[in-house]
Amino acid sequence: MRFIVNKLLYILTISLLLLAQPQAAQEFVIQDIRVEGLERITPGTVFNYLPMKVGDTFDDSRSTEAVKALFKTGFFEDVKLERDGNNLILIFKERPSIGSITMSGNEDIETDELLENLKQFGFAEGRVFVQSTLDQVKQELQRQYYSNGKYAVKVNSTITELDNNRVGILIEVSEGLAAKIKKINIVGNKVYSEKRLLKEFKLSTPGLLSFYTNNDQYSKQKLSGDLEALRSYYLDGGYLNFNVESTQVSITPDKKDIYITINVTEGEQYSVTEVKLAGDYILPEESLFELISIESGTLFSRRKITNSSKALTERLGQEGYSFANVNSIPDINKEEKTVSITFFVDPGKRVYVRRISFTGNAKTKDVVLRREMRQLEGAWISTTQVERGKQRLQRTGFFEDVNVETPAVAGTTDQVDINYTVEERSGGQLGAGIGFSQTQGLIFNTNISQNNIFGTGNRIQFGFNNSNVNTRYNLGYSTPYFTDDGIGAAYDVFYRETNAEDANLAVFETKEYGVNFGLSLPVTEYNTIGTSFGYTNTEITTEVASSFQITDFINKNGNKYDILKFGVNYAYDTRNKAILPDKGAFQRISASIALPGPGNSLEYYKINYEAKWFKDIYNQDFVLVLGGKFGYGDSYGDTTELPFFENFYAGGPRTLRGYEENTLGPRDSTNRAIGGDTRILANAEVILPVPFLTSFKKSIRLTTFVDAGNVFGANEDVSFDDMRYSAGLSGIWISPFGAVSASIAMPFGDKSTDEIQNFQFNFGTSF
C-alpha cells in the first residue's frame, strides 16, 4: 500500500513540473502581417528588412530572426511580435530622427566644415539619432581640435525633444587656448648642431610670426613631416644609415606647454663610387646620363637620386612611355663607406592616347578647350604635352581650376584616355558698378563685358567710366584665334576726357578719341610677337594755373594733334596662370612710334621693358617674385620733345607703394608732378600662404614686398642716389564684384618733398 502511495506522489510531482514549464509558441501559417507604432518609417521599409512574408510558417526560430533583423536596421528602440489568430502583429517604437544640429563656440573650425566632416559618421539632419554615434562625434571633434593644438578643448552636447519624434542637438565647444611648443630637443646629433637641424623643421617654439604661421602649435602630422625633413637632410649629406630612434611628446598638466624630444642615430657618411644605367634604355645612353644629377666622387644624396629618377621617368614619358619605371638600386660597401648606384630603367610599353575629353565646361565650347591642347589623339602620349595643355587652359583665364587624369583604357595595356576637368570662372558682367580709388575718388561705371562670350573664348566690352579724373567710353572686341593658326586680333574704339590735376599731375585737361587695332602672332610655344596700329585725336586745354612747361610745349607744337601710332612687341611667357600666377617667368619688350601724318601730328617714340620671375622657396610654402620695369621715350623730327601727356609716372599701388600716386619724379614750374622720359622700377615680393581662408585660396593673395624706382626728366642723369624705396604688406582679392587691393608700406630713402601715403587701396577697379 505504501509503495502505491509513493508511486502516485511521484507521478503527481512530475505532472506539476510539466505543467509549470513554459509553453512553446505554436507554429502557424502567416495569413497577414500588420505593423503598429510607425511614425516616420514606412511599412514598405519594414517589409524590405523583415525576413518573412505572408504564407511562411512562423515559429520560435523565425521570431528571433525577425527581431534581430529589425533591430539591426538601427531605426527602432523596441520591437515586439504578437499573434492575433493567424495574423502576425509587429509593434514598434521608433528612434527619434535628428531635426537640427547647432554648433556654438567653434571659432578655429567653421561650422559648415565641421558638419561636412561629421556626415561620414552618419550624423546629419534627417538621420536616425543614436546616442553612441553622438559620443563618437564628440570624440572626433576633440581629435580635430587636438590636431590644431587645442588640447584643453571641451565638447558638451544637449538633446532637446522636438515634435514628430525628432530631436534637436546643440554641440557646445569650449576651445581653450592652443598649447604652445615650449622646447624641441634633438638628442644624439654630433655632426650638425641642434640649431642647424631645427631650421629644417616647420614646428618651432613661439616666434615673431607665430601668430600668423601657427608654427608653434603641435600636431602629429606636422611632426611627422619634420622628422621626414630631418631624415632627408641627413640622407642628402651622405649619412645613409641615419635613423630616428624614438620621439617623446609630453604636455604639461595645465595643457599649455608641449615638450618634444627626438632621439637620433647619425651613422657614418657615405660617398658615391660609381653611377650606372641598366635595363632597356630606349634612348641613347649618353642623353640619359645628362639627366642624372648625382656623380661618382660626390657624397650620397637621396634628393639627387630622387630627382634623377624623376628626370629619367619624365624623359621617357615624353617619348610615350608614360608607365615607365626607373628604380635606383644602391650597392653599399659598409667597410669602405661607399655606395655604387644603378638606375634600372623599365620603360614598359609605349602608350597611345585613345580619346581626350573635357568635363565641367557648361558654357565654354569644346573647341575652345581643344585648341589649347598640345597632345594629339591617336599619337603616343607625352606627359610634358599633357601638362602643357593643363597650363594653357589655366592661362585662358576662363577657369578657376583645371585638373587632368590619364586613366588606362579597360582591356588594353597600351592605351589611355586623357580627361580634363575644369571649373569655370564667371567671365561676364552686366550692369552698373561703383568703386573707390584714393586717387580717382568715387568711380561710377557701367559696363557690359564678357571674357568668354557665348563660350567662344572671345571678349567683347562696352564700358562707361566716370570719376574725378576721367570720363571714358569704350567699345572693344578681341579674339585669341582670329585664324586657326592662333593669330589673335583686338579692336578698340574709345573716347575719354582727363583732368590731370585730379590725378596729382600738372594742370591741364585732355579730350581724346580714337581707334586701335592689334595682331598677335605665336612664334613658339612660349614666344609671341605682336603689332598694333592706332589713330588718336588729342586736344589739350590749359588753365591760368598751367605751368610754363605745358604752355611752352603748346606754343611750339599746338594744342590739337592727329597721332598715328605704330607699335611692335615681343613677349616670352611661361607663367602657369593668367590670374594670380605663382610659377614661371614673363618678359615683354615693346616699342611704339608716332608717325608723321596729315594735320598737326607729333613725332615721338617710346620703349618699354617688363619682366617678372616666380620661384618656390622654403619648402614650396612661399613664392619669391622678382620684377622690374624700364621705360624710355623721346621725340624726333619737328617735335621739340616728348609730349608731356606721354610722360612716365611713378608712385602709387601700381608702381611704387607708399608714395602718393604719380607724385615722384620731375616737377613743373608750379611744383606739380609732370613725369619724365625715363622710368626705372624694381620689385621683390614673397607670396605668403593664406591662413584659415582655404576656400578663398585661389582668389586671395598676400605678399610682403620691397619696391624701388623713380622717374627722371630729359635733362636729368639717372642716379641710384635719387631712387625711392618702400617695404610693406599687400593683399589682393579677386571678388565676384571686382578686384580689391590694399597695401601698407613704409617708404625709406625718401626726400622731404615726397608725398607719403602709407595705406593705399582700390575697390571696384582693375589694377
Instruction: Measure Cα distances from 608 to 532, 587, 679, 767 in Å.
Output: 15, 11, 9, 18
Tally Cβ neighbours within 10 Å of residue 25.
14
Predicted local confidence at residue 19, as pLDDT: 40
Instruction: Measure Cα distances from 354 to 345, 376, 377, 404, 572 in Å.
Output: 26, 9, 6, 15, 33
Q: Are 270 and 194 spatial neighbours (Cβ–Cβ below 8 Å)?
A: no
Measure the CA–CA gap between 380 and 386, rounded to whole angstroms: 11
Which residues, in sequence order, are CB contacts of 55 under 8 Å at separation 6+? 29, 30
Residue with cell 571678388: 735
Predicted local confidence at residue 146, as pLDDT: 77
Tell me the angle at which helices 302-318 and 383-395 cross, rounded to the nearest 10 degrees.
90
Percentage of residues of the chain with pLDDT beyond 90: 41
Predicted local confidence at residue 694, as pLDDT: 56
pLDDT band at 231 (very low <50, low <70, confident <90, very high): very high
| Residue 681 sits in the same domain as residue 660 | yes
**Which own/partner contact pairs does 511-514 have at CB distance under 8 Å and 24+ positions apart?**
511/538, 511/539, 511/541, 512/536, 512/537, 512/538, 512/539, 513/537, 514/563
| Residue 642 sits in the same domain as residue 521 | yes
15 against 759, higher pLDDT: 759
| Residue 296 sits in the same domain as residue 358 | no
* pLDDT tens profile 142-181: 887 777 777 778 888 888 888 777 888 888 888 777 788 9
User: 432 in a domain, yes or no?
Assistant: no
Predicted local confidence at residue 14, as pLDDT: 39
User: 506 in a domain, yes or no?
Assistant: yes
| Residue 639 sits in the same domain as residue 563 | yes
| Residue 491 sits in the same domain as residue 574 | yes
Domain containing residue 518: CATH number: 2.40.160.50
* pLDDT tens profile 494-524: 998 888 877 778 888 899 999 999 999 999 9
Predicted local confidence at residue 420, as pLDDT: 96
Evaluate if residue 415 carries a pLDDT over 70.
yes
| Residue 78 sits in the same domain as residue 211 | no
pLDDT band at 447 (very low <50, low <70, confident <90, very high): low
Predicted local confidence at residue 609, as pLDDT: 97
Looking at residue 500, its amino acid is A
Predicted local confidence at residue 445, as pLDDT: 47
Closest CA to 662 of 496, 497, 501: 501
Evaluate if residue 98 carries a pLDDT over 70.
yes
Range of the domain at 138: 97-174
C-alpha distance across the termini of the chain, in Å: 123
The three three-digit cell numbers of residue 352, written as one number: 597611345
Q: Phi first, then psi: give them for residue 624, nearest 5 degrees.
A: -90, 130
**Mean pLDDT within 247-264:** 90
With vertex at residue 108, the alpha carbon angle to CA 103 and CA 113, rounded to the nearest 5 degrees, is 60
Residue 180 CA from chain centroid, whole number: 28
| Residue 51 sits in the same domain as residue 110 | no
Q: Are 648 and 633 spatial neighbours (Cβ–Cβ below 8 Å)?
A: yes
Closest CA to 759 of 725, 729, 716: 729
Radius of gyration for the alpha carbons in the chain, expressed in angstroms and rounded: 38
pLDDT band at 597 (very low <50, low <70, confident <90, very high): confident
* pLDDT tens profile 188-199: 999 999 999 998
User: 431 in a domain, yes or no?
Assistant: no
User: 444 in a domain, yes or no?
Assistant: no
Residue with cell 605751368: 547
Residue 142 CA from chain centroid, whole number: 28
Evaluate if residue 463 carries a pLDDT over 90.
no
587 against 122, higher pLDDT: 587
The three three-digit cell numbers of residue 232, written as one number: 632627408
| Residue 165 sits in the same domain as residue 212 | no
Q: Are 480 and 456 spatial neighbours (Cβ–Cβ below 8 Å)?
A: no
| Residue 398 sits in the same domain as residue 497 | no
**β partners of residue 10:** none
* pLDDT tens profile 115-125: 777 777 777 77
Last residue of a domain, one of 46, 69, 94: 94
pLDDT band at 598 (very low <50, low <70, confident <90, very high): confident
User: 14 in a domain, yes or no?
Assistant: no
User: 3 in a domain, yes or no?
Assistant: no
Q: What is the mean pLDDT of the chain?
A: 84
Tell me the angle at which helices 131-147 and 111-118 cross, rounded to the nearest 10 degrees.
130
Last residue of a domain, one of 134, 154, 174: 174
* pLDDT tens profile 329-343: 999 999 999 999 999
Measure the CA–CA gap between 516 and 490, rounded to whole angstroms: 8
User: 600 in a domain, yes or no?
Assistant: yes
Predicted local confidence at residue 17, as pLDDT: 35
Instruction: Measure Cα distances from 396 to 365, 393, 451 in Å.
Output: 13, 5, 10
3-state secondary structure of 285: helix
Measure the CA–CA gap between 50 and 300, rounded to whole angstroms: 67
Tally Cβ neighbours within 10 Å of residue 58.
20
Last residue of a domain, one of 139, 174, 209: 174
Q: 69-78, 215-224, 672-681 — which one is most confidently predicted on average?
A: 672-681
Predicted local confidence at residue 82, as pLDDT: 80
Looking at residue 68, its amino acid is K
Domain containing residue 167: CATH number: 3.10.20.310
User: 436 in a domain, yes or no?
Assistant: no
Which residues, in sequence order, are CB contacts of 695 under 8 Å at separation 6+? none
| Residue 412 sits in the same domain as residue 529 | no
Predicted local confidence at residue 468, as pLDDT: 59
Predicted local confidence at residue 315, as pLDDT: 92
| Residue 482 sits in the same domain as residue 342 | no
200 against 134, higher pLDDT: 200
Predicted local confidence at residue 467, as pLDDT: 61
Pairing status of strand 28-29 against strand 57-58: antiparallel
Predicted local confidence at residue 9, as pLDDT: 42
Evaluate if residue 70 carries a pLDDT over 60.
yes
CB neighbour burial string for 727-742, b if at least 16 within 10 angstroms, e if fewer = bbebbbbbeeebbbbe
| Residue 598 sits in the same domain as residue 643 | yes
Q: How many domains does the chain have?
A: 6
